[in-house]
């Protein structure tokens, strides 16, 4: 692209020689030419504002000089203030008209000088009522949405002769999992309290494992503790494996089932099997608890995680005696701060040892609230005399 020569008319009415062509100029040469043109333009604009207060002879000397016929008309036009812009400095480029719609229009401000908000016209698809969507990970079927006259599966198939199968020596009845809703995370952890491996699947069971490990009211627990089986009228076998079982300090044994959402318990097949399993467990004096994983409280989870990280801290027999002695000295209940000082002078080591003693049920304090130095600490209760531990459960 070739630029035309810049106007050779100077501010004093003289002329200069032809400018150098910009076709093959270097970038810094072009910048210098533009800077000179900008300075000349500013100077001419400042001189044009003062032409009305100067004599005609001076004004005539400031006008561009051409031939005789054009000089008179140009001198008359010089009496009016001239507007110079960037486009008029280069010949061959049409000046930009401020009134041209393409140039832009003034914004419609109100009397207060505030630009009004534009009116947004919604798309026709946005006016339609939104369809309710449920999460993809929820079950497709829900017992509450089914017909009230839907017959239960046990009644249709004629389930009978339920049998409970326990693992050997109170261990897990299965360690390999089959999934219906796709793969999920599985883990095997060693429990310091239960002194056995615990097999969990999914994040909710892993979180509940830490709950049981750090709760001093739980004496023992085991995941995948039992499986119940039924025979149908046609000779088939229906089964269900419980997520786990626990035994508290009163000796009560509770089997639990953990689901990520309440809707999973309302799935027809799961609902029917849990109903039948609860009847059979009641015959043996065992409770069944349904736990919803998304209802775990965040504050409790953080406190439990802090204690769980110190479960493997080591301590001596002497430190254990000092902790129990401190509890007896204060009448059976002592503040957590004093217990930590009795086992170690370093606050960090004292906190870790107290947490490790909690996991081993040497001392007991609640994790329902964030721990403070005034948290009461007591000795955990032992199983009542004559109550069989969970590991020796016989059905």
Which has the closest alpha carbon to 258: 295, 287, 304?
295
pLDDT at 243: 92
Residues ≥6 apart with Cβ < 8 Å to 256 = 208, 242, 243, 244, 245, 246, 288, 289, 290, 291
Phi, psi of 187 (to 5 degrees): -150, 150
Which has the closest alpha carbon to 2: 35, 19, 28, 24?
24
Three-class SS of 321-369? HHHHHHHHHCCCCEEHHHHHHHHCCCHHHHHHHHHHHHHCCCCECCCCC
**Cα separations in angstroms, 322 against 119, 317, 335, 364:** 76, 9, 14, 15
- Encoded tokens for 205: 């069971």
pLDDT at 64: 47
Which has the closest alpha carbon to 239: 227, 221, 226?
227
Q: What is the residue extent of each domain of the chain?
A: 27-103, 145-296, 299-392
Task: Return the ∠ at Cα 260 (arms to 154 and 250), rounded to 5°.
Answer: 80
pLDDT at 60: 46
Fold of the CATH domain 145-296? Trna Endonuclease; Chain: A, domain 1 (3.40.1350)
Contact call for residues 314 and 192 (beta carbons, < 8 A): no
**Distance of alpha carbon 339 from alpha carbon 373, whole angstroms:** 9
- Encoded tokens for 127: 């006016």
Give me the helices (H) in the chain, please: 27-48, 56-61, 68-77, 153-157, 202-214, 262-265, 268-283, 298-308, 317-329, 336-343, 347-359
Split the chain (395 residues) into runs of 10 and give each run's mean pLDDT: 45 47 50 70 66 49 46 48 47 51 55 68 70 59 59 82 86 67 69 90 88 94 92 90 93 92 86 91 93 73 90 94 95 95 94 95 91 94 89 81
**Distance of alpha carbon 197 from alpha carbon 181, whole angstroms:** 25
**Distance of alpha carbon 353 from alpha carbon 220, whole angstroms:** 21
pLDDT at 106: 54
**Cα separations in angstroms, 113 against 43, 107, 119, 120:** 35, 10, 18, 21
Q: Which residues, listed in sequence order, are joined to residue 241 by a DSSP beta bridge?
A: 227
């Amino acid at each position: 692209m070739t630029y035309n020569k810049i106007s050779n008319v100077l501010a004093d009415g003289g002329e200069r020689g032809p400018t150098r062509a910009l076709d093959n100029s270097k970038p810094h040469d072009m910048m210098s030419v533009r800077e000179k043109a900008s300075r000349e333009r500013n100077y001419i604009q400042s001189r044009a504002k003062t032409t009305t207060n100067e004599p005609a002879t001076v004004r005539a000397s400031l006008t561009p000089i051409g031939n005789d016929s054009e000089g008179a008309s140009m001198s008359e036009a010089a009496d009016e203030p001239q507007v110079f812009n960037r486009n008029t400095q280069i010949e061959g480029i049409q000046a930009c008209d401020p009134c041209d719609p393409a140039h832009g229009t003034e914004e419609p401000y109100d009397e207060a000088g505030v630009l009004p908000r534009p009116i947004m016209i919604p798309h026709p698809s946005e006016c339609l009522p939104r369809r309710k969507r449920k999460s993809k990970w929820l079950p497709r079927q829900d017992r509450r949405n089914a017909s009230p006259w839907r017959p239960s599966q046990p009644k249709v198939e004629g389930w009978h002769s339920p049998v409970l199968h326990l693992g050997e020596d109170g261990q897990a009845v299965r360690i390999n999992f089959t999934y219906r809703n796709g793969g999920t995370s599985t883990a095997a952890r060693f429990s310091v309290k239960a002194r056995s491996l615990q097999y969990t699947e999914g994040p909710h069971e892993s979180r509940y494992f830490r709950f049981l490990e750090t709760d001093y009211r739980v004496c023992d627990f085991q995941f995948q503790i039992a499986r119940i089986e039924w025979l149908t009228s046609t000779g088939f076998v229906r089964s269900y494996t419980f997520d786990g079982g626990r035994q508290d300090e009163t000796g009560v044994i509770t089997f639990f089932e953990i689901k990520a959402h309440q809707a999973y318990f309302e799935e027809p097949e799961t609902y029917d099997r849990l109903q039948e399993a609860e009847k059979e467990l009641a015959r043996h004096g065992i409770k069944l608890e349904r736990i919803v994983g998304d209802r775990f409280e965040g504050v409790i989870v953080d406190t439990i995680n802090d204690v769980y990280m110190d479960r493997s801290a080591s301590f001596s027999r002497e430190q254990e005696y000092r902790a129990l002695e401190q509890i007896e000295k204060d009448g059976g209940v002592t503040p957590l701060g004093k217990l930590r000082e009795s086992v170690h002078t370093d606050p960090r080591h004292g906190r870790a040892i107290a947490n490790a003693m909690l996991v081993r049920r040497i001392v007991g304090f609640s994790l329902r609230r964030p721990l403070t130095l005034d948290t009461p600490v007591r000795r955990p209760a032992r199983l009542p005399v004559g109550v069989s531990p969970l590991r020796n459960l016989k059905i």
